[in-house]
Each structure stands twice: as C-alpha cells, then as structure tokens.
C-alpha cells in the first residue's frame, strides 16, 4: 500500500484528475490523504466532492475552513461571499448526500507518526490531546443539531487555548486552530489576518510549527491552508498548499519516500498569491 498526501484542491477538479493520473493512484491498493479545502474559489467544487466521496475508505480528508463555510451556508447560518463558487454544490441534485458525507469527515487524522490537519496545531497540544479535541468538534458536526455549531463557529475570540474553555467558545478555538491558524505567539495566541510570506510575519508571532517546545514536535504534521508558504518539507513538517488556485502547481507527496509530484494549474483564478 502506498499513501499519498495532496494539498488544497479548492474546486480544481481537472488538476486533481491529472495529479491522480500522474500518481497512478489505485484506490484498491493505495491511500489518499487530503489536507482539506476540497471546495470553493475554483471552478468545479461539485466534481471534486463527487470524486473524493466515490473513493470511499481509500481517501481520508480533513475539513478545511472553506469546507466548513460551505456547510454553514447550506445550513442557513451564513451568507455566500462574493468570491465563493459554491452554487454548483448548493444547487446539485445530490447536494444533501454530498453535504451529509462532508459533515462526517474528520477535523484531524493521526496514524503512524503522521498528523493530517488543514491548518495547524496549537503549541500546547500533544497529538493525543489534539485527536481528542478534534473529536469534540466532529461530534458537534455529526449531531442532529449541527446547525447550532455553525451559528457559533465564526469569530476570532478567544484567540488562545485554555483547558477551562467550555461550550461553543471551546469548539471555536479548536476549529480556528485546526482550520484557520498560520501564526501564533509562543503562548499560542492566534492571529488570523496574516496570509503572507514567512519574512513578513508581524513581530511577536511565529509560524505555529516553529514555536519552541511545541508539544506535537515528535510527529510529522501534514497541512495546507498557507499558499504563500508554499511547499515545505522538513523532518516533522510537510506543507502542501502550493497555490494551484492562484496559478501555482497542485502538489502531492508520497509519504513512503517523500517524493514530490506536481501538476501545473491551467486556469488560475488570479496570478497574485
């Protein structure tokens, strides 16, 4: 069995198909790990969802902020943004089936020393704790009253973790860390406006993965979400969002030997990352 991880797709269905062909991906014998943000901004979110869903247990995907946004819009808890390209999903005849499937997906996945997440882990969290915290949000998403979660999901506060957090403030911090974070302070206070290159990080903040004594440092964290960061492969960090949506390549890595595979974007939304 070979396991491949792929960065943010965001509705870029043609590039995903080309990348799977390059990998010679076989759902019978191989596994696919997806870092989330399957949908939005790109041209064909509907086909991406249909494809990934059709792969069944051969594909493991974690939820990204755009995936959660789609679910919140469908639940009637927020409005579409001007740049959203989600109408195809929302108007599809198999909409309910696809959205129910999406709502059942994980927020974080850990296996054999690897952790798959969309954005990152707060420095105070061990992998074991992160798995447990992800399950709290997953339970809310999978419950019959999941719309209440989306009613409370949006917002930047609290910006940091405390074991004493309860209810939807607790779930919001967990969700923001796993799906929105790029940088934070050494104490784990998150900042959400920054989306740029490493050298432009504001004073007092670091990339979440560079925080000294991060409790998840003994695992290899595979993530996306930060297209300006680009491809980054170190012993314990694999960043895979290379900005296919914006004109960069779509990137996959074979976890067995860390070989990189890429396909170029054919029709970028914009040239400026």
Q: Average the pLDDT over 112-134 and give the result.
A: 98
Q: Helix or strand or coil: residue 161?
A: coil
CB distance 42 to 12 below 8 Å: yes
Q: Helix or strand or coil: residue 71?
A: helix
- The tokens describing 94, both together, are 């198999």
More confident call, 273 vs 243:
243
Condensed to tens digits (0 to 9), the pLDDT of residues 213-232 reads: 999 999 999 999 999 999 99
CATH of range 3-263; options 3.60.21.10, 3.30.365.10, 3.40.50.2300, 3.30.70.270: 3.60.21.10
> What pTM value is reported for the model?
0.97
Condensed to tens digits (0 to 9), the pLDDT of residues 174-222 reads: 999 999 999 999 999 999 999 999 999 999 999 999 999 999 999 999 9
Percent of the chain residues past pLDDT 90, beyond the cut: 96
pLDDT of 269 reads 73
pLDDT of 247 reads 92
pLDDT of 268 reads 75
Q: Average the pLDDT over 39-58 and give the result.
A: 97
Q: Helix or strand or coil: residue 12?
A: coil
Q: Domain spans of the chain?
A: 3-263
Q: How high does pLDDT run on average in the chain?
A: 96
pLDDT of 270 reads 53
d(CA 11, CA 67): 11
Condensed to tens digits (0 to 9), the pLDDT of residues 65-98 reads: 999 999 999 999 999 999 999 999 999 999 999 9
Taking CB atoms within 8 Å and a gap of at least 24, the contacts of 23-31 are 23/252, 23/254, 23/261, 27/55, 27/56, 27/58, 27/59, 28/58, 29/1, 29/2, 30/1, 30/2, 30/3, 30/4, 30/58, 31/1, 31/2, 31/3, 31/4, 31/58, 31/59, 31/60
């Amino acid at each position: 069995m070979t396991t491949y991880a792929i960065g943010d797709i965001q509705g870029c269905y043609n590039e995903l198909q080309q990348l799977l062909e390059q990998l010679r991906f076989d759902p019978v014998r191989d596994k696919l790990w997806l870092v989330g943000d399957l949908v939005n901004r790109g041209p064909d979110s509907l086909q991406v969802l249909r494809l990934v869903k059709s792969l069944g247990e051969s594909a493991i995907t974690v939820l990204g902020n755009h995936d959660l946004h789609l679910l919140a819009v469908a639940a009637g808890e927020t409005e579409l943004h001007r740049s959203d390209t989600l109408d195809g999903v929302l108007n599809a005849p198999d909409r309910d089936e696809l959205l129910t499937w999406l709502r059942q997906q994980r927020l974080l996945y850990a296996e054999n020393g690897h952790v798959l997440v969309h954005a990152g882990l707060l420095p105070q969290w061990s992998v074991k704790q992160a798995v447990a915290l992800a399950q709290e949000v997953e339970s809310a998403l999978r419950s019959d009253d999941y719309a209440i979660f989306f009613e409370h999901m949006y917002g930047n506060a609290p910006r940091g973790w405390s074991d004493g957090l309860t209810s939807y403030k607790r779930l919001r911090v967990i969700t923001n860390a796993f799906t929105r974070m790029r940088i934070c302070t050494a104490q784990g206070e998150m900042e959400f406006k920054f989306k740029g290159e490493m050298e432009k990080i504001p004073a007092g903040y670091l990339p979440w993965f560079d925080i000294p004594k991060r409790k998840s440092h003994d695992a290899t964290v595979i993530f996306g979400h930060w297209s300006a960061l680009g491809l980054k492969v170190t012993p314990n960090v694999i960043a895979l969002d290379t900005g296919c949506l914006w004109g960069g390549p779509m990137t996959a890595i074979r976890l067995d030997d860390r070989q990189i595979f890429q396909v170029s974007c054919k029709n970028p939304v914009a040239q400026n990352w």
